[in-house]
Amino acid sequence: MKGKLGRGVALVGAGACKFGAYPRQDSRDLFVEAFRELVASVDNKGFDPTEIKALFIGNYSSDLFEHQGHLAPILADWVGLTPRAALRVEDACASGGVALRQGVLAVASGVYDVVLVGGVERMTALPTEAVTDTLATASDVLYEFPAGFTFPGFYAAMATAYAARYRMPYEALMHVALKNHTNGAHNDKAQFGMTIREIMDRRIAKAKEKGGLVPSWEDEFAFLRDPVANPIVAWPLRLFDCSPITDGAAAVLLAAEKVAWRFTDHPLRVLGTGQASDTALYGRADLTSLRAAREAASQAYAMAGVEPSRIKLAEVHDCFTIAEVLAVEDLGFFPPGEGWRAAMTGATCRDGPIPINTSGGLKAKGHPVGASGVAQVVEVWKQMRKEAGPRQVGGEVDLALAHNVGGSGQTCVVHIFGGGDCG
Amino acid sequence: MKGKLGRGVALVGAGACKFGAYPRQDSRDLFVEAFRELVASVDNKGFDPTEIKALFIGNYSSDLFEHQGHLAPILADWVGLTPRAALRVEDACASGGVALRQGVLAVASGVYDVVLVGGVERMTALPTEAVTDTLATASDVLYEFPAGFTFPGFYAAMATAYAARYRMPYEALMHVALKNHTNGAHNDKAQFGMTIREIMDRRIAKAKEKGGLVPSWEDEFAFLRDPVANPIVAWPLRLFDCSPITDGAAAVLLAAEKVAWRFTDHPLRVLGTGQASDTALYGRADLTSLRAAREAASQAYAMAGVEPSRIKLAEVHDCFTIAEVLAVEDLGFFPPGEGWRAAMTGATCRDGPIPINTSGGLKAKGHPVGASGVAQVVEVWKQMRKEAGPRQVGGEVDLALAHNVGGSGQTCVVHIFGGGDCG
């Protein structure tokens, strides 16, 4: 890897719509909402959106979710940016992060000074079975699909392999879910903006209202162990180990460092970007780590010239709780086999040494697949600028990382952002 | 538009599979065939494919055509390039050209020295109605689909508007089809590698064999006017005005100019690249020209610093015959309203002043939608290197252009290539 950008690229704006279930809205509606928030996020209030010269859109499958192909020029049109170049980038659930990377490379190439990177997915209008089926097309459809694998199954296989090798108790995964819901409870854009305690209490209150049998969980752990409250989806993964089905959109504004001053006095810098691929899960020798994640992270760290230990905050791809455990190891925050302990000891909590998924992660914030990689960067933007409100981490976040995974790890893309002045 | 590449990018290899109907093959099979030809095309026989550091894949909708998402890492794996970064780029039928552009920008960015750009589509396994429906998702599905528009209808509307404004006789479109089939007859990779005369003669011979009523067409024009031999698809467009449904793949190898010598002594240079978007057809004031094509061409010409009159050869997006007429005007080869005359006078024939679609175009070569934009560049590669065999144009092709359209013109991407030495 040469791995150096021809010129510096800065992050100068970011926005997202509230994630949730909007089956009667279209992708373009969600995108317009994110775009409006992006425009409002630009410090320089004289910002004219037509300065945006191209749109890079992460979207997994508007084809199957909405029976709409060729989405990118529609989105450009809907925000008044015709005839700007607009394209869709697809790498399953890493589509957003990979779109970001294409936007970064496009600015670094010298062709564009200002581009928008968007991510969008409208998923909830289909029945759950159809959503699961659509997501399963991100596997190898010739070899894995016929074996009955859908995504909870892939990550369950990883969880099983990991637990067996490293003696992880199931409680570790509960801690991931508890933490991410606790973070999400402070995120007004989250689909499930409640702690698991709050969800549990609400269930109890509802049962009381109805006058039926009132469950008496001792605490959240008892709630999460209850096979009715938290049923097995694919053993050992239960409902609260899985990210939800979500509609949402996010967008960020990139500019060449030399023009970043036009948008803000406080741009963030894209210090590192890395991307890698892997074979589908059926062909892998090891299920306890994602090779593409390690490779993408190594590229991004090398480009940024930083060590994992210097990262102050990370948004990682927790499509399932086990994925976060793997991620914190693949990114070098913890040694192999120690990721689950980090979850249990609180090392990854908002006030821990390396806060992970302060946004609530895919787990609580929601996972509109093509948007997730971009939404991660929206959180990085807010945290690094101290605009994260009630979930703001303490201290200066001068280095942050976003880690976005496609499928069962066939794609991974990692970005590292730094604060400080641009040229 | 800044419009300058941070560093020079060269084309150093190109390959395609034979286009056709392979309903029992998978996208990956077609791609492997194109990849093998690409590897064989590299002049330096010591070329090691693992020098390829990333794959940019143009694909319109493996989702709907094959129920396979996340195609890019599978293709990388199938040609032995895991864990290289692999991503899919989608802009309907312009996916291949837009993928090429992303590859160019990625090399220009300084991050990659050597990348592969591929295009692939497997379409024929579905019933024709399902293919038409899938292609129609490249329109605006909220506004155009419910009005009953599919793609022959969109281009029929353009043909009608154009014919009315510029008094084009239907014969002009026949000339486009005749020319492209004549070119395709010399292309062993073409799906329909026969002149229309040969197709007609074959029909007559078959009818004689069967012993039934033997048609007696006086010439190809009579054949094309026969409503049975050449039925109306969407008035005024008939069967021979439409590109076919095709399976196919193509791939090209890009390298930074400074390392191009490692692959060949005769690289081609990417002199210009442009891309633009437009509203869906329903929102346009004018149907006789594609705004996105004019805009993309203007960007590419400006970057290359050349005038349209200097281009020696072009592959243009003739998804329908009328599209070629619009293209030669949008690209500045002929003034508005003169494109149809160019077709009738033979100006765009292989031995004319500006040969258009020497490959046979989408019309005869076939139109595997995501692959078409890349396959155009394969033809440019062959013609500029004088490797086009029986369809080689006379004289030096020192400047050539590729023009790739998505949908009804919501996306257009244009590339200009030059010969001569690299750094």
Cβ distance A277 to B72 less than 8 Å, yes or no, reads: yes
Q: How many CB pairs under 8 A join A and B?
A: 236
Closest B-chain CA to A61: B63
pLDDT exceeds cutoff 80 at B403: yes
* Out of B53, B140, B276, closest to residue A83 by CB: B276
Closest B-chain CA to A53: B1
User: Cβ contacts of residue B77 below 8 Å, gap of 6+?
Assistant: A277, A278, A279, A280, A283, A410
Confidence of residue A420 (pLDDT cuts 50, 70, 90): low
How many Å apart are CA B266 and CA B260, to the nearest integer?
9
Q: CA A329 → CA A3, A322, A333, A417, B172, distances in Å? A: 23, 11, 6, 19, 65
Q: How far is CA B126 from the centre of its chain?
A: 22
Helix (H, G, I), strand (E, B) or coil at B117: strand
Confidence of residue B2 (pLDDT cuts 50, 70, 90): very low
Closest B-chain CA to A2: B111
In which residue are the tokens 């791609």 written? B31
CA atoms within 13 A on the CB side of A405: 32
Q: What is the pLDDT of residue B335?
A: 98
Verify whether residue B93 is a known catalytic residue: yes
Q: Which residues of B touch A131 (CB under 8 A)?
A: none
Q: What is the pLDDT of residue A212?
A: 81
Phi/psi of residue A272, nearest 5 degrees: -150, 145
The model scores a pTM over 0.80: yes
Which of A27, A59, A70, A415 should we substitute to test contact with B (largest number of B Cβ atoms within 10 Å)? Answer: A70
pLDDT exceeds cutoff 60 at B423: no
How many Å apart are CA B104 and CA A165, to the nearest integer?
44
pLDDT exceeds cutoff 70 at A423: no
Q: Which residues of B touch A92 (CB under 8 A)?
A: 69-70
* Out of B3, B88, B138, closest to residue A90 by CB: B88
Q: What is the pLDDT of residue B3?
A: 64
Q: What is the pLDDT of residue B50?
A: 96
B142 DSSP β-pair partners? none
Section A268-273 average pLDDT: 98
Confidence check on the interface: ipTM exceeds 0.90, yes or no: yes
Please provide the DSSP assignment of B62-75 as one string: HHHHHS---HHHHH
Q: Which residue type occupies A146? A: P
Confidence of residue B228 (pLDDT cuts 50, 70, 90): very high
Q: What is the pLDDT of residue A4?
A: 87
**Number of residues written out for chain B:** 423
* Out of B102, B138, B273, closest to residue A69 by CB: B138
* Out of B72, B108, B406, closest to residue A91 by CB: B72
* Out of B26, B108, B283, closest to residue A109 by CB: B108
Cβ distance B110 to A2 less than 8 Å, yes or no, reads: yes
Verify whether residue A93 is a known catalytic residue: yes
Q: CA A403 → CA A17, A216, A293, B111, B382, distances in Å? A: 21, 38, 8, 19, 41
CA torsion, ordered A36, A359, A155, B86, to nearest 10 deg? 50
User: One of A17, A93, A242, A349 is an active-site residue; which one?
Assistant: A93
Closest B-chain CA to A272: B111
User: One of B175, B317, B367, B403 is an active-site residue; which one?
Assistant: B367
Section B270-291 average pLDDT: 97
Mean pLDDT of chain A: 96
Closest B-chain CA to A294: B83
- Above pLDDT 70, what percent of chain B? 98
How many Å apart are CA A305 and CA A299, to the nearest integer?
10
How many Å apart are CA A310 and CA A398, to the nearest integer?
9
Q: What is the pLDDT of residue B212?
A: 81
Q: Which residues of B touch A108 (CB under 8 A)?
A: 6, 109-111
A249 DSSP β-pair partners? A120
Q: In this predicted model, what pLDDT tens digit does every residue of A165-211 receive, in sequence order?
A: 999 999 999 999 999 999 999 999 999 999 999 999 999 999 999 98
Least confident of A207-216, B56-65, B335-344: A207-216
Q: Which residues of A touch B88 (CB under 8 A)?
A: 89-91
